[in-house]
Structure 1
Amino acid sequence: MHDRTTAHQITAASLRQLWGMLGAETQTQAVQKIRELTREIDIDAYVSPVPPGYDTVMGYLAKNHPETLQFDMWDAEGTQRDGFWCKHQCTKRGLPVCKVPAPAVFDGEGFELVNAYPVEILSERLGGPV
C-alpha cells in the first residue's frame, strides 16, 4: 500500500459521513446538484486495448473510478505521477510494463502509445479491485 491517499478515497469517506448527517430533503437537493455538476463520460474513450491482467492508468480510472473523470478530479501531472509510481514498482518487482495504443481521449494530444501495468499494481496505487 502506498502512503498517498487518493482523491476518491477522501471523497468517498467524507461523502458517506456527510450523507448520514443530511435530512431526506437535503439529500434530494444534493443529488440534484451532483447531477448538475457531473458530466457524462464515454468510458470507452479512456480505455486502450491491453493484454489480460493489464491496464493503463486512465483505463483503470475509467473502469473503477469514473467519478474522478466525471468531476474532472484528475490532472495530467497526477496521472504521470501515478504512472511513474507504477513503472517504478514494476521495475522493483521484475514485472513487465507494456506499451499499448493511447486511448481516444488523447487523440490530437501527441500521445500514440501509453504504458500498461499489471492490474495489481494499479489497484495498489489507485484503490479498487484487482
Structure 2
Amino acid sequence: MLYRHFNTLSEEEPEAQVELTTTIEELIAIAEYSAEFPICLWIYGDAESKAFMNEKLSELPPMEHIQSIINLPHIKRLESEALGYAKADEKLALKRFRKEQASFNKQRKNSQRTNS
C-alpha cells in the first residue's frame, strides 16, 4: 500500500519521500527477517511493551517445540486445506508486492526522465 500511494503520501513535503522510502526499506527488512521464525511478536521498543512481550513469551514453550508442532502432519494439512480467503497466502502476497514494487520503480524512472 505504501508503494501504491507513495506519491499521494509524499506530495506535501519533499522530506516525506525520504522518510517513506526508509520506512518501506525497514518494513521489507522486518518481513524478510521474521520469515525465519515460526512465531513473531513485534513491539514498540519501550519498557512497558518489552515487559508485555517477555510475559507473553514466558508462557510459550521453547521455539524448538513450537517448530515441531507446526511441522506435524495434521497441522500442515490444516494449512493446505484452508480456504484462500481464510489466511494470507505468502505466494500471492509476494506476487502482489513484486508487482507494486515494479510499478513504483517504473513510476520513479519515468518521473526522473521527465525531470531531467
Tell which structure's C-alpha radius of gyration is larger: 2
**TM-score with structure 2 setting the length:** 0.31
Higher helix share: 2
Alignment TM-score, normalising by the size of structure 1: 0.29
